[in-house]
Structure 1
């Protein structure tokens, strides 16, 4: 058994395909035969722009799905042969944890079993932003947990989730609406049919002129929380106007500012590494429940709708780089995946 990986040797350097070791999992870890790599936009920002400092050389990639090949000490909830979806933590340092290879070491705390009958690709794409969602909405905002069975009782609070067709936004709309909150979100007409199925009470066209968009956003409020899952300067500025009209407060963002920004008086952008917020501030066992109970049961019951998938051909040799190029240029309403064995 041999292993092949896509390695980035230095910041912004061209990717290289290399033979690497087949790793031995440590305590609370297991080895996965990787069958599908799922991409999220931040990976292109790391590879192309070195947006987040990491040690080099590195094997990138944050989410994937496959079959358990071997288990390390103290692993009790996974066994050889299980189908799993995995999300890597940013805090996991070492080439063994990166998704851009055929055999990957997974931690048993951010992985879920994939129920029989569930498409592994769907599970791998859905899990890719799970800790961001749980860290932001479940821990920092303290929202209720979503219901696995039935319909949650109405909470009587409204949440604006800007960017309902995005990778983070589409999962966020489902998580928050399944917890009983009224969700208002945005999308383009192209993706309205998909976004309308996620559970929002109202979907607003974000392609309209900015002034009209802000007017529509305000009219659908007021909101208890405003979350911008796109977090570009122009989207934060518009969401800040909505918050200012309510008397001030926070725009919760999934990216830090790209540079100096001026927001209306009384409005601030709140950004954190939401996955690390979950790890550091979770006092209720929410993360464990999410990976062991909510995610596999929601998959089995068909309660989570994945984004449409676009498979990028070429495997590790060509597909990974092509997928990162596509992400860097910008994709809308789809999740890119690569088969590492192609």
Structure 2
């Protein structure tokens, strides 16, 4: 009997089912991870239920996980069996051995970070994917400065950034990253998540549950913004953030997903999207990628310099993933969902 089990998606929109699969052998430059924590990302329900990107079926989904190195390829020198690591799979990588929804996963990626001693691995797992996207967008693409690593706030910069959705994982990490690097940040939150967002470093937090007209007025009152990011990127939020951007003359509205259907934006406003962590794979950002994986993520977690969203550990192991995807589709705010695939 196979030592590995996986939650497999047989076709678009179908429920996942758990089956034995092979126990993979890592290639020369690969690692085999005994997976003990899956961290779920909203894009996964969009792939499973909405066909957000073309994929081949049957497929093992999942991008972010943590666990212990079980085996290493013949050419691997940087890691040893038994080390605890957290991994974020590169967007577009194909092969079921690389999907996180299983008990043993192969890693052929540079987005690997060691889990600090004494740290619950669900914390870096819950941060990993969005943190790499935050750094990839703001520093890899937009060339903003990095935060310091000595616990001190950087000197103030003459740039203001609107981060719409401060209680989302990407939004909360963006507020912290930018404010720690010395930038002025304005963000939004619902009253329910306000206490959490207030701790992240924004100079202004606006209630995004008020009527759209009043919300636009309040956001415009804090403008102009040098950079605007809509971390929710749904039609109702894009309608608000695009109007705010149009009020200051238009420009680029950075989003977390493309428009999945035709949309009408104000004149001069352009939605800009790409998988933001992709910039970290470019040669010019090689040192930035190493900094994120080897220094920023593990040091900030160990020092408590990054405030993570509360973690909700979903019961049921691999069989519980269908429930997780349903919850993500309905909308999850203010928490990060994780599961133990061995439960």
Please indicate, yes or no, whether the TM-score normalized by the shorter chain is above 0.5: yes
- Could you tell me which runs of 5 or more consecutive residues in structure 1 were left unpaired when the two chains were aligned: none
Identify if the C-alpha distance between structure 1 residues 261 and 108 changes in structure 2 by more than 3 Å, giving closer, same or farther: closer
Secondary structure of the structure 2 residue equivalent to 1:251: strand
Instruction: Please report how far the alpha carbon of residue 306 of structure 1 lies from its aligned counterpart in structure 2 after TM superposition.
Output: 1.1
Instruction: Please report how far the alpha carbon of residue 258 of structure 1 lies from its aligned counterpart in structure 2 after TM superposition.
Output: 2.6
Are the equivalent residues in 1 in contact too, given 2:91–2:275 (CA < 8 A)? no
Are the equivalent residues in 2 in contact too, given 1:233–1:258 (CA < 8 A)? no
Instruction: Please report how far the alpha carbon of residue 155 of structure 1 lies from its aligned counterpart in structure 2 after TM superposition.
Output: 1.3
Are the equivalent residues in 2 in contact too, given 1:243–1:267 (CA < 8 A)? yes
Q: Is 1:185 matched up with 2:203?
A: no
Partner in structure 1 of residue 55 of structure 2? 54
Instruction: Please report how far the alpha carbon of residue 101 of structure 1 lies from its aligned counterpart in structure 2 after TM superposition.
Output: 0.5
Partner in structure 2 of residue 256 of structure 1? 258
Q: Deviations over 1:279-315 (max 9, x none)?
A: 2474452112111111111111111111111121111
Secondary structure of the structure 2 residue equivalent to 1:18: strand
- Per mean C-alpha deviation after superposition, the further-off stretch among 91-100 and 25-34 is 25-34
Partner in structure 1 of residue 164 of structure 2? 162
2:278 to 276, 286, 289: 276
Runs of 4+ in structure 1 deviating by more than 6 angstroms, as ranges, are: none
Partner in structure 1 of residue 130 of structure 2? 129
Are the equivalent residues in 2 in contact too, given 1:228–1:251 (CA < 8 A)? yes
Alpha-carbon distance in 2 for matches of 1:69, 1:133: 30
2:242 to 222, 240, 243: 240
Alpha-carbon distance in 1 for matches of 2:71, 2:44: 27
For these two proteins, the number of residue pairs brought into alignment is: 341
Alpha-carbon distance in 1 for matches of 2:81, 2:169: 30
Give the 5 Å matches for 1:1-342: 2-149=3-150, 150-280=152-282, 282-283=284-285, 285-317=287-319, 319-342=320-343
Instruction: Please report how far the alpha carbon of residue 335 of structure 1 lies from its aligned counterpart in structure 2 after TM superposition.
Output: 0.7
Instruction: Please report how far the alpha carbon of residue 74 of structure 1 lies from its aligned counterpart in structure 2 after TM superposition.
Output: 3.0
Alpha-carbon distance in 2 for matches of 1:265, 1:29: 48
Alpha-carbon distance in 2 for matches of 1:172, 1:298: 14
Alpha-carbon distance in 1 for matches of 2:56, 2:91: 12
Give the TM-score of the pair, scaled to structure 1: 0.96
Alpha-carbon distance in 1 for matches of 2:79, 2:295: 14
Are the equivalent residues in 2 in contact too, given 1:176–1:183 (CA < 8 A)? yes
Alpha-carbon distance in 1 for matches of 2:113, 2:92: 19
Are the equivalent residues in 1 in contact too, given 2:40–2:338 (CA < 8 A)? yes
Are the equivalent residues in 2 in contact too, given 1:28–1:108 (CA < 8 A)? no
Alpha-carbon distance in 2 for matches of 1:261, 1:267: 12
Are the equivalent residues in 1 in contact too, given 2:12–2:48 (CA < 8 A)? yes
Alpha-carbon distance in 1 for matches of 2:53, 2:136: 19
CA RMSD in angstroms, aligned pairs only? 1.5
Secondary structure of the structure 2 residue equivalent to 1:285: helix
- Could you tell me which runs of 5 or more consecutive residues in structure 2 were left unpaired when the two chains were aligned: none
Are the equivalent residues in 2 in contact too, given 1:31–1:71 (CA < 8 A)? yes
Instruction: Please report how far the alpha carbon of residue 115 of structure 1 lies from its aligned counterpart in structure 2 after TM superposition.
Output: 0.6
Instruction: Please report how far the alpha carbon of residue 134 of structure 1 lies from its aligned counterpart in structure 2 after TM superposition.
Output: 2.1
Q: Deviations over 1:300-339 (max 9, x none)?
A: 111111111112111112x111111111111111111111
Instruction: Please report how far the alpha carbon of residue 252 of structure 1 lies from its aligned counterpart in structure 2 after TM superposition.
Output: 0.7
